Structure 1
């Protein structure tokens, strides 16, 4: 294998690593996090608001911008973890995704 072929192979492996890492999530769900519902504001009128939380994650890995869906998934999981900590069962996004951050309201909707 000549030196140019080795360079191309190494470059390809490096780029694929960046793409794989950008889709990965290292956020661990707390017990009960997957039982927390993500609803809209109109759906929580009969619930008790417990507070708010702001979730943030890296939106860039090196020079690569992370996938918007992966970022949003991570932010929602962080908010669900915080809902568990606050003894809530529902979250509502109250801000749009911007620079790897979103704000959520946390509710108790179980009566």
Structure 2
């Protein structure tokens, strides 16, 4: 479970740094918010490692980690859908602007 949780949080951090930092931060003007979120995700990793070490001694922690794993899969799906829709939007806007430019010539 720790490997799954750690991999998810790491992947999320990577995605934030790659996509959000470059594009969304410029568009939305939220680079400070992204940095805060990144720091929170790093702290979450520490909590997850600690919980993983305690899961065999505490049934409620084990249940919580299982629920968290399911939630992470759902969040991962949502992030993928958002990325796909965002790419479609960017592609559509790019195509529209190219069409408008060619019509202007």
TM above 0.5: no
Kindly indicate which of the two structures has a greater share of residues assigned to helix. Answer: 2
Kindly indicate which of the two structures has a greater share of residues assigned to strand. Answer: 1
TM-score after normalising by structure 2: 0.29
